[in-house]
Amino acid sequence: MKKTVFITGGAKGIGAACAEEFAKKGYNVAVNYKSSFAQAKELEKKLVSLGADVTLYGGDCSDESAVREMIAAAEKKYGGIDVLVNNAGVSLIKLFCETSEKDWDDVFANNLKTAFFCSKAVTRGMINAGGGAIVNISSMWGVCGASCEVAYSAAKAGVIGMTKALAKELSLSDIRVNCVCPGVINTDMNAELDADTVNELKGQIPLRRFGSPCEVAKAVVFLAEAEYITGQILTVDGGMTV
């Protein structure tokens, strides 16, 4: 029977690349999107052309009731969820002293609370099924921190801590929990960087270039299928944090 993956924030960027890689592997693909409906529909066409059974789920993953409804619907349609990819997130570039409480709460809600709600929603089904895999998307800034991105770095560090703790808690149920920490990737999140910033960042990367969403997605699929790996943090950053 075909396996099913549920990807949050999957309409574009790294999430969409993950959806494509899982489709190529023969998975049923459930794609969550928050507001990017047009991109989600375009992705759906592409995945269908690859032979995948695709379902789109619109909803805010920082809303627990919405998460429960989406996960329940996907489980009902596909008979369960084998892999969860917690990709939903937002960035914030702002001086620490200018970061408001609302800024802080929004960043944590969209990066850490989303992973908490979605992981909680799939856990019971995975336990009943005898196992599963959760892959969280953090960031290299969650590992080493970034100036002017304190809220984002802290939230992504929280994702790493959650990964390690949850991997231990769910291991007896054969549920593996791992984390991918992308470096500077060619996505909408980095599209507005000016030329000087781009050149400066490339100069700090040993491989001398930004990564692609596809390169991150391949790491996600690897961890989803690596049956003897759990609780690990895989940094996909061209060597920037070595």
197 vs 223, residue with greater confidence: 223
- pLDDT of 197 strictly over 90: no
- The mean of the pLDDT values for the chain is 96
Q: What is the pLDDT of residue 192?
A: 74
Residue 162: HSE in the Cβ half-sphere, 13 Å Cα cutoff: 26
- pLDDT of 81 strictly over 90: yes
Q: What is the pTM of this model?
A: 0.96
> Of 72, 59, 12, which Cα lies nearest the Cα of 32?
59
The helix/strand/coil state of 100 is coil
Q: Which residues contact 234 (CB under 8 A, 6 or more apart)?
A: 178, 179, 180, 181, 219, 223
- pLDDT of 190 strictly over 80: no
**170-186 pLDDT tens trace:** 999 999 999 999 999 99
**152 is annotated as an active-site residue:** yes
- CATH code for the domain defined by 4-236: 3.40.50.720
> Is the alpha carbon torsion for 16, 23, 119, 71 positive or negative?
positive
Give residue limits of the domains in the chain: 4-236
Catalytic residue among 33, 57, 78, 152: 152
CA angle 103, 108, 114 (to 5 degrees): 135
**57-80 pLDDT tens trace:** 999 999 999 999 999 999 999 999
Label residue 242 by pLDDT band (50, 70, 90). confident
Q: What is the pLDDT of residue 191?
A: 74
CA angle 78, 116, 145 (to 5 degrees): 125
DSSP, residue by residue, 113-152: IHHHHHHHHHHHHHHHHT-EEEEEE--HHHHH--TT-HHH
Residue type (1 letter), 212: S
Q: At what angle do helices 150-170 and 101-108 cross, to 10 degrees?
A: 30
d(CA 209, CA 89): 23
Strands (E) located in the chain: 4-7, 28-33, 54-58, 83-86, 132-137, 175-182, 233-236
